[in-house]
Every structure is written in structure tokens, then in C-alpha cells.
Structure 1
Amino acid sequence: MSDPYPARSSALPDREDKRSFLQKLAEFIHPGPDSRAELIETLAEAENNDVIGAESRVMLEGVLRMADQTAGDVMVAATRMDCLSIDAPYEALLHQVIDTAHSRFPVYEGEKENIIGILLAKDLLKLQRAPELNLRALLRPAVFVPESKGLNDLLREFRGNRNHLAIVIDEFGRVAGLITIEDVLEQIVGEIEDEFDIAEDEGDIFGLADRTYRVSGDTPIERVNEAFGVHITSSDPEDAFDTIGGLISHEMGHVPKRGEHLALAGLNFVVLHNKGGAVRWFKVSPVQDADLTG
């Protein structure tokens, strides 16, 4: 009588192990990493042994760390979002688009919490050519994601639905901020540079051809004072600020937009570029020589 329960080996032969004896021995002596932290340490060792380059290691570590991050960790907060009103006249919309220099804008109706769609800056050209068009017809659907949305899943959705911007909502369904595909990718490759970005090791204050200066918004106030021979302080002695961008935003009562300016300690600071709801670059010149039109 045949065995009703044949041995597993006779029904399912073992998969052939093609590893060499030396490979098996190496894995026994030096087992692979058992955790993400160990894997990151392994990547560092690989860089030290010239197996991978420094940039490759940084990107691989970014991929690993991104697995633990959510949309809420890297979003632009709602208070720093540049939104457009559906009821604003064309000239006002165009002015805001030019000043902020974004390519996509959330559009709201009534209150800023009521996001009704996304406007691509280039679509405003259609209104200029055909003023009879309704702005609503140009809006793209807004994508809403929870703060807890994992960046891995979000990146997959960005690639799948070809959206580059999503509105982040909190647990109560209120707008918490926005996140773009660039925000996600920067967690892997580092900050994606644009025409205003300069390598950190090249400094934060630069002389320009017109005898003015470009100053990074995150430049320490002490460095600005030393470089220009001035003494910049807050109008309120009880307030302490580390960066020139933070101090100027406080003095103006809001994060200044491109073209806005403020005079401090005999210097005129004109906003050149905003990024992520903060001033990235100022143009600085003595007040007597300043072009107050920005």
C-alpha cells in the first residue's frame, strides 16, 4: 500500500543552491544586516571601501529613511501656502503668480480651507488669449492626502496619476499644508537646485556685478553684521532671531514676497526669491543707492 503522505522531498525537490562554498562560508562568517540601521552602516562601509560613491550612499540612505516619513513630515504648512482666490481678477492672479514664481497653485473659494482645484501657472496664458474663458474651466482636480500618508506610497501615486502636488489634510479633515513631488524627491537626492541655488560650501553672501550683494535668507545675523559693518537688531529687544530672513519676516509682520523690501541699519533688503514659504535670497545694497522698486 502506498504512503498517503509522501515525504516532502519526493514531491517538492529542494531548490538547487548555486552558491559556491566560499560564498556560503563568507555569509556564515559575515551575515547580512538584520535591521535598517545595520544596512545604513553597511552602506557607509561600502563607501569607505570605494564600492559606492558618496552621492550614491546619500541617495540610498535617503530611500531607506523615506520609508519612515509621512506627508506631514515634509509638507509646506498651510500658513505658508501660496493660494489663489477663484474670485480674484486676472491682473491680481497674474501678479501673484509672477511674485511667487510657482508653477502650480491651490485655488480656493471663499475661505482658504475650501480648496476647489489646482491651477497651472501656464494656463493663465489661455485667459489672456481668451478672456471669455471661465477660470474654473482651467482648474485641475485637487488631490487630497492625509498627514499620515507614507512618502513611498505618495511617490508611487504621484508617478501613477501624473499629479505633482497634493493637499495634505489633518485628522479632522482640515487643510494642514501641501506637498509636491519635488518635496518627496528631495528626501532622496537632497535639495533640487534651481537658478537661485548655490552650493553651501561657496558661502552665503555674494558680490554682484552692479555692486550690490546677494544674501541667503538663512545667513546668521552676526555674519551679516560682520560682512557689512553694521549692527542689525530686532525692534523688540526681547525677541531673538538667528537668521536675517527670520528677523526681516518678523519686522515686516509676514513672510515677504518677491520684490518687497525693508531698510535695516542703513541697508536695503529686497526679496529676490522665495522657496517653501521662506525667503531664500535677498538683494542687499546701501539705502542711499538702493533701487526701492526692487
Structure 2
Amino acid sequence: MWKYVFKRLIILLPVLFGATFIVYLLFYFAPGNADRSAVRKAATPEEAEIIREERGLNDPILVQYARTMKEIFAEDSFVRVQLGVRLPKTIKLTAAAGIVTLVLSLPIGVCAAIKQNTLFDNVSMLISFFGVSMPNFWLGMLMLILFALHLGWFPTSGSLTFSSLVLPAFTLAFGNMAFISRITRSSMLETIRQDYITTARAKGQAFKAVVRKHALRNALIPIVTVMGLRLCEVFSGSILVELIFSWPGIGRLLVDSINERDFPMILGCVITFAFCFSIINLVVDLLYVVIDPRIRSQFSRS
């Protein structure tokens, strides 16, 4: 198992470098780049050359990339300070939405598969269809109007209390909960029809034990894969939800930076998103090892 973990960590390094370098190049060649705009606005070629030399634009692109990364994530940089304040808020919101998704989607999907073609199955799939179809920003506005403005159950903004987390977390979780419950139902239906499930039942094992120990565990691989992808979507989708509920996270910081054309802050936010996505994918790969013993045996032999 440790060989597999080490291999995934090694693969993570070039992925992070590639993602950050591509983002840096996009901003480097963007029309609004401050350094390149200063060179274009120079009165004479000599002045343009002085500006290029002062700002290090004559250095190789990799040297400029390394210098920019060092400036952005320096210990006393404004970008790092802001990211350090805002990122935990976004992680808190994403984790809450992920917990809600996991707690609700798995039982609903499993029960819908066990009770196929019953009223529970039909109602749950109808709600799932509704959840997949509705954009989270629209659902967020509806929940804000109903539960915050009319009923007054939850605050309209802020992040200081637990109640302020409920509406944005559920808004982020609802669409993914609907999607994952459908995937869980489909995967469970395929699994419970396998011969080893019939054999386990023929040996006298209780139906709940067969579902929990055999069917659900074997159905988890595609579910975990989808959950990892959807968790990345939750993390990126928090941008709109943070705007709607005035949640002080990194998504709102990114939008404010775009409006102010603060390119170092934009670059820092985008790179932070890329890093978090890579970490989420790494965790999903490690969950494969925990869930599936075939993967563990494969790497133990190698």
C-alpha cells in the first residue's frame, strides 16, 4: 500500500507543476498583463528595454515563473495572507456539503435499489432528476428567499455561526446528492444481481448483512470515483454559492479579484483551486486501496 501512496505522491508533483505553469502562461500572455502593458506603453524602445530589464521580462520563462510563484506565496505576501484567511472558509463549506451529500445520497441510493420500482424508488428518482436539473445558484436564491427572508430560520449571509452554514452547504450538496444517489442505485442494482450475492443469500446470511458486507462494498468503486469528481465540482461551484450567501471564501475572493483586475490574486486563487483538486484526486486514489483489496495485492506483488 505504501508503494502505491508513494507513487501517487510522485505523480502529483508534475501534475501540480503543469497546472500552475499553464495558468501562469495564460496570465503571462493575457492582454491585461501589467508588465507587458507597461512595455507597450513605453515612449521609446530604450525605455521599453529598461522596463523589461527592471521587471525581469528578459529572463527565461521558467525563471519568471519561479520568481512569480515565490513572490505570490512568500510568507509576508498579501496574496498568501488572504488565501490563508479565505481558504479555510471554503474548505469548511465544501466539507459540510460533502458530508451532507454522503450521508443522504448513499442510503437513498441503496434503498432505491433494494426497493426497485416501488413508491420510494420512484419518488427518490423524481427528486434526483429535479436536483440534477436545477442549477445551484438558482436553488440558492430560492432557499435564500424562502428560509432566510420569509421564514427567518437562517441568516442571509456570514460565516460565524453554524446556522449560517446550513443554506450554502445544502445548496452545494443538493445537486450532487441527487446525482450520486442515482449512481449508487445503478451500481447497487448491477451488484445485487451477481452470482456471489445469490450464493451468500443461499448460505443463510441475512439480507442486510449481504447488502452491507458484499453488495455495497463492491459497488463503492464507481461511487467513489463519481464522488471525487463531484467533490471537485462542489469546490469550484462554491464560487457562485459564496456570492449568493456572501460567504467569505476563496471563490468570492476570486470574483472580487477579477473585478479589480488583481492578477497576482487571481493567479493565487486559481493555483489554489488546482492544488485542492489534485489533493482530492489523490485522496480518491487512496480510497481505492482501502476499498478494493485487489489494488492492494497488485502493488504488494510489484
Larger radius of gyration: 1
Give the structure with the larger helix fraction.
Answer: 2
Instruction: Please state which structure has a larger fraction of its residues in strand.
Output: 1
Larger RCO (CA under 8 A, 6+ residues apart) = 2
TM-score by length of 1: 0.27
